[in-house]
Amino acid sequence: MGCAGSANFLDASSLFFNPGTSAFANKSEVNVAGTPIFANVLFTDSSTKTSYRTQNPIGTPFSVYGLYRFKKSLEPLTLGLAIYTPFGSTVQWEPNWIGRFALTRLSLKAIFIQPTFSYRFNERLGFGAGFVVSSGSVNLQKDIPVQDSLGNYGRAELAGKALGFGYNAGVLFHVNPNFSIGLSYRSKVSMSVSNGLATFSVPSALTSSFPDGIFSSQLPLPSVLTLGLSFNLNSKWSFVLDVNHVNWKVYDTLAFDYAQNTSALSDTKSARKYESIFAFRGGVSYAATKKWTLRLGSGFGFTPVQSGYVTPETPDANRLYGTGGFSFAPNNHFSIDASLYLTRMQRTDKNLETQLNGTFTSIALAPGISLNYVW
């Protein structure tokens, strides 16, 4: 449904959208899902009109959600555990592309582990909150403009483990049996790399100028405030809308602090100057039969990347996407969901730091499947 779900409870995956919705779970359940992402980027240089492509591996986002519904005196309380990957991807550019000194490969991973509790005050109001531990990794590679006797450029690789902490909270209010309002907040998570390893492949005469060693860095993941609306037209048709405010402004600079500096290797600070943005997501659900439910949706998000700061690591643009899918529930305990996400973006820009000037065209296709068991 356009990736919207902050104002209604469907299954345990609601822990991601709004932990307040899980207060209205009537039973315990487990949800396991995977969404392989097929994404590629085409860059066309403005001067030469030469095009270069990425050779990205298949992305592998996954999620595991669990809810335990208490009985008797503790019945208003629900405990949950969510493990999911809200951020992360791999960008791999083809060999010898024009932007090799800016980036050749970047792999980012962030796994959120979120224990959550939810409490239903009455039949209309529920609240939920969770603590987030984020474990991740980063691997950045690029060429260095120094050459050996054969004309091969040097290479830098920065790799390290990252750790961050945050929280989320949300409320769900049923205005009446057919209309609900949800409000949720996910905090900023600062992913810190404290003992990363910097490795340089350069001609032997330059090894003292580019020593291997330790580096530190930080990558802030933005906070998200979401207002959600849900409306049931009747027993078959329901509509949802989410409005997100994403605080990308926290990503101002990408900095690497090397433990050992030389005249050729100094600490780097590259401006990113992201802006906070709004995104809109909506969809419709149709209960065709007792076993089959069909869904359709779309969304639009403004890009946080200002003109002059588009990079090959995140060649972002205003994003319009479409989604579709279905649920099949053969019995009262088991259901399966299938989905499809499709988007295409295009952005022309000249980076002020690297002078990389051209058009990025990005396409992403993401089929998904999830299994849900209720008891």
| DSSP conformation letters of 159-188 | EEEEEEEEEEEEEEEEEETTEEEEEEEE--
Per-residue pLDDT, 155 = 95
In a domain, 345, yes or no: yes
Contact 336, 114 (CB under 8 A): no
For residues 95 and 258, give the distance between their C-alpha atoms in angstroms, rounded to a whole number. 27
Per-residue pLDDT, 35 = 95
> Which alpha helices (DSSP H) does 10-116 contain, by range?
14-17
Contact 127, 20 (CB under 8 A): yes
Give the type of residue at 84. Y
Per-residue pLDDT, 74 = 79
Q: Which domain holds residue 323?
A: 14-374
CA-CA-CA-CA dihedral for 156, 109, 322, 166, to nearest 10: -130
User: How far is the CA of 284 from the CAs of 173, 240, 249, 296, in angstroms?
Assistant: 20, 6, 32, 6
For residues 25 and 41, give the distance between their C-alpha atoms in angstroms, rounded to a whole number. 41
Instruction: Name the residue among 256, 298, 268 with its Cα closest to residue 160.
Output: 256
Count of alpha carbons within 13 Å of 350, Cβ hemisphere only? 5
Per-residue pLDDT, 314 = 86
CATH code, domain with 53? 2.40.160.60
Per-residue pLDDT, 75 = 81
**pLDDT tens for the 375 residues of the chain, in order:** 999 999 999 999 999 999 999 999 989 999 999 999 999 999 999 999 999 999 999 999 999 999 999 887 778 999 999 999 988 889 999 999 999 999 999 999 999 999 999 999 999 999 999 999 999 999 999 999 999 888 889 999 999 999 999 999 999 999 999 999 999 999 999 999 989 999 999 998 899 999 999 999 998 999 999 999 999 999 999 999 999 999 999 999 999 999 999 998 999 999 999 999 999 999 999 999 999 999 999 999 999 999 999 999 989 999 999 999 999 999 999 999 999 999 999 999 999 999 999 999 999 999 999 999 999
Count of alpha carbons within 13 Å of 162, Cβ hemisphere only? 28
pLDDT tens string 196-230: 999 999 998 899 999 999 999 998 999 999 999 99
Residue 109, Ramachandran bin (φ over 0: left; ψ between -120 and 50: alpha; else beta): beta
Residue 343: other Cβ atoms inside 10 A: 17
In a domain, 6, yes or no: no
User: What b-and-e string marks burial along 146-165, b requiring 16 or more CB atoms within 10 Å of the CB?
Assistant: beeeeeebbbbbbbbbbebe
For residues 159 and 141, give the distance between their C-alpha atoms in angstroms, rounded to a whole number. 9
Give the type of residue at 367. P
Q: What is the pTM of this model?
A: 0.91
In a domain, 2, yes or no: no
Per-residue pLDDT, 89 = 85
In a domain, 146, yes or no: yes
Residue 123: other Cβ atoms inside 10 A: 9
For residues 175 and 155, give the distance between their C-alpha atoms in angstroms, rounded to a whole number. 59
Q: 103 in helix, strand or coil? A: coil
In a domain, 1, yes or no: no
In a domain, 5, yes or no: no
Domains contained in the chain, number: 1
3-state helix, strand, coil in the chain (%, to 5): 5, 60, 35
For residues 28 and 78, give the distance between their C-alpha atoms in angstroms, rounded to a whole number. 9
Per-residue pLDDT, 151 = 87
Per-residue pLDDT, 148 = 87
Sign for the CA dihedral angle at 12, 366, 114, 253 comes to negative
In a domain, 231, yes or no: yes
In a domain, 7, yes or no: no
User: How far is the CA of 163 from the CAs of 91, 111, 168, 190, 195, in angstroms?
Assistant: 21, 10, 17, 8, 11
